[in-house]
Chain A
């Protein structure tokens, strides 16, 4: 940009801070338009918008919220009943938290399915993965702050899992809780985590994540090193992003005013309820936030002891292995590293959606009969009803993938559906059904690996 065409303000800034290269960079920046919809590129921006709403509403809540045994619940009740528009601020905070997680999950799965993690963007995936963990930490630590019965017991269950960590589990549990049990000391620690530690970590990680994206640009579709067409980031993409933010704001206002205490779905409700009483027994129906429901349900599926370990320990081990595998996908997906389609990993992503959705449906007790959802007849009915839902959902996904996207790799998602069918319809135990469903996967993967190895040898010869 020549000095003649610059505005006086820009010239003034440029003289002092040399902003011209940055403006030139943004002027030439393009978003690739390729084989897939552009809609996926906007999910990260929507997540960022809801995060900013979290910061603003969180600061507003801090003006009145007082952490303490005799003040946490009371100050929140004061915010909701006495402070003008206090109920709206809290409703905004809660709704935007859930919408942020929904956008984040969709963003993560779209990145996974579009293989946007392939080189050179591995670290963008890793920072996004850590940001997802931080967002879950926000949800978990914020859940306790109202100090009501539901949040108290959800935190008791959620933190107790930490003791299953080998060697340092019990120490970690005490550090987390500020003592052997969940007390007001736990709330003080969670408060510090929620309003200081996690926001600082989040700002740093978001900064790094955005820096990587700006430096490397958005990923082009697989097979295209350089997208054939591009959209100018400024102003075309940025204006669209702003319009989406406006739509998100409208949605947030509508939801917060129509349903200020949530949609009344287990794991997505924030009525203040009764004040926490650590000496009152737990009551039925205590469930964590919806994004932790699959782990909650998985904990229920494990027997007390298995393979020489306690059920919760084994469950935590399985979840850790799955999460570790998810983080390592950019390095495991060798075909995507060569910029080739990797249908197996796409199917792995869809199978993860099916695996999590079946457990979540079960945790919602869909199909329960009678008042006692834990009675054997009710448990069987829930497993059966959820299996039908799962088969319907999975069948629809496979049909769309087969006809619209011409996918032909269904080994993992087929196994997830077989698992649900064996457990829900044939009445086999959840873990046993999972083991049976894994057998064709193992056999299939071995066969494909051998066929690929033979193909490479033949090509080499």
Chain B
């Protein structure tokens, strides 16, 4: 038993990926990302190993939410015409606060901090908001 544990433990540890590293504080979107945000109304950016959906709603406010659908992990998108967030994999719909409108997701999308500053830059912070 001890022999088995001494073999399996290092193998298990070896296979377990190391935690993602990167800036944990607020992150500025790049010029390209801001361009895409303005063109499509939303952009998906990687922050500390997370896919983050940054969108500009009809009132011009910046919102940041997890881009990972809480059902099966597909990447969601912002549908500006219907003012909702949609996951194409299983037709899940979320409101702009992340709440589930319809479809099979069991949880809302986690929300993050997002803001457009006076100088035009967009800053997001992946510390989850209540």
Q: Count of chain B residues with Cβ under 8 Å from any Cβ of A?
A: 31
B89 near A302 with CB under 8 A, answer: no
A282 near B49 with CB under 8 A, answer: no
A281 near B49 with CB under 8 A, answer: no
A281 to B73 CA separation, bound complex (whole angstroms): 11
Given contacts A174-B16, A299-B104, A305-B106, contact A179 B49 (CB under 8 A): yes
| Interface membership of A394, Cβ < 8 A | no
A131 to B54 CA separation, bound complex (whole angstroms): 45
Query: Which chain B residues border A310 with CB–CB below 8 Å?
Result: 106-107
| Interface membership of A271, Cβ < 8 A | no
| Interface membership of A85, Cβ < 8 A | no
Query: Which chain A residues border B17 with CB–CB below 8 Å?
Result: 174-175, 177-179, 185
Q: How far is the CB of B60 from chain A (nearest CB, A)?
A: 22
Query: Which chain A residues border B89 with CB–CB below 8 Å?
Result: 153, 157, 282, 286
A157 near B74 with CB under 8 A, answer: yes
| Interface membership of B51, Cβ < 8 A | yes
| Interface membership of A333, Cβ < 8 A | no
| Interface membership of B91, Cβ < 8 A | yes
A279 to B49 CA separation, bound complex (whole angstroms): 12
Query: Which chain B residues border A405 with CB–CB below 8 Å?
Result: none
B20 near A179 with CB under 8 A, answer: yes
| Interface membership of B96, Cβ < 8 A | no
Q: Is the interface of B mostly helix, strand, loop or mixed?
A: loop
Given contacts A178-B17, A374-B91, contact A311 B44 (CB under 8 A): no
| Interface membership of A461, Cβ < 8 A | no
Q: How far is the CB of A133 from chain B (nearest CB, A)?
A: 20
B49 near A181 with CB under 8 A, answer: yes
Query: For chain A residues 297-346, which have a beta carbon within 8 Å of chain B?
Result: 299-300, 302-305, 310-312
Given contacts A185-B17, A281-B44, A300-B90, contact A286 B106 (CB under 8 A): no
Q: Count of chain A residues with Cβ under 8 Å from any Cβ of B?
A: 35
B76 near A300 with CB under 8 A, answer: no
| Interface membership of A160, Cβ < 8 A | yes
Q: Scoring A residues 161 to 175 as 1 if CB is less than 8 Å from chain B, else 0, what string do you get?
A: 100000000010011
Of B44, B73, B91, the contact of A160 (CB 8 Å cutoff): B73
Of A178, A279, A300, the contact of B45 (CB 8 Å cutoff): A279
Of B12, B88, B104, the contact of A302 (CB 8 Å cutoff): B104
Q: Scoring B residues 95 to 116 as 1 if CB is less than 8 Å from chain A, else 0, what string do you get?
A: 0000010001111000000000
Query: Which chain A residues border B12 with CB–CB below 8 Å?
Result: 175
| Interface membership of A202, Cβ < 8 A | no
A446 to B74 CA separation, bound complex (whole angstroms): 44
Q: Scoring A residues 76 to 91 as 1 if CB is less than 8 Å from chain B, else 0, what string do you get?
A: 0000000000000000
A282 near B87 with CB under 8 A, answer: yes
Of all chain B residues, the one with the shortest Cβ separation from A185 is: B17
Q: Scoring B residues 1 to 19 as 1 if CB is less than 8 Å from chain A, else 0, what string do you get?
A: 0000000000010011100
A406 to B4 CA separation, bound complex (whole angstroms): 54
A374 to B87 CA separation, bound complex (whole angstroms): 12
| Interface membership of B28, Cβ < 8 A | no
A460 to B107 CA separation, bound complex (whole angstroms): 58
| Interface membership of B77, Cβ < 8 A | yes
Of all chain B residues, the one with the shortest Cβ separation from A287 is: B89
Query: Which chain B residues border A180 with CB–CB below 8 Å?
Result: 20, 49-50
A310 to B15 CA separation, bound complex (whole angstroms): 28
Q: How far is the CB of A191 from chain B (nearest CB, A)?
A: 15
| Interface membership of A278, Cβ < 8 A | yes
B106 near A281 with CB under 8 A, answer: no
A133 to B72 CA separation, bound complex (whole angstroms): 22
Of all chain B residues, the one with the shortest Cβ separation from A301 is: B104
| Interface membership of A22, Cβ < 8 A | no
Given contacts A179-B20, A286-B89, contact A303 B104 (CB under 8 A): yes
A280 near B44 with CB under 8 A, answer: yes
Q: Scoring A residues 273 to 293 as 1 if CB is less than 8 Å from chain B, else 0, what string do you get?
A: 000001111111110000000
Q: How far is the CB of B128 from chain A (nearest CB, A)?
A: 15
Q: Scoring A residues 412 to 454 as 1 if CB is less than 8 Å from chain B, else 0, what string do you get?
A: 0000000000000000000000000000000000000000000
Q: How far is the CB of A432 from chain B (nearest CB, A)?
A: 16
Query: For chain A residues 132-155, which have a beta carbon within 8 Å of chain B?
Result: 153
A157 near B73 with CB under 8 A, answer: yes
Of A174, A283, A304, the contact of B106 (CB 8 Å cutoff): A304
Q: How far is the CB of B44 from chain A (nearest CB, A)?
A: 5
A278 near B51 with CB under 8 A, answer: yes
Query: Which chain B residues border A182 with CB–CB below 8 Å?
Result: 73
Query: Which chain A residues border B72 with CB–CB below 8 Å?
Result: 156-157, 160-161, 299, 312
**A/B interface sample: 27 pairs, CB < 8 A:** A156-B73, A156-B75, A157-B72, A157-B73, A159-B73, A160-B72, A175-B15, A175-B16, A178-B17, A179-B49, A180-B49, A181-B51, A181-B73, A279-B45, A279-B46, A281-B44, A284-B88, A284-B91, A299-B71, A300-B90, A302-B104, A303-B104, A304-B104, A305-B106, A311-B71, A311-B106, A312-B106
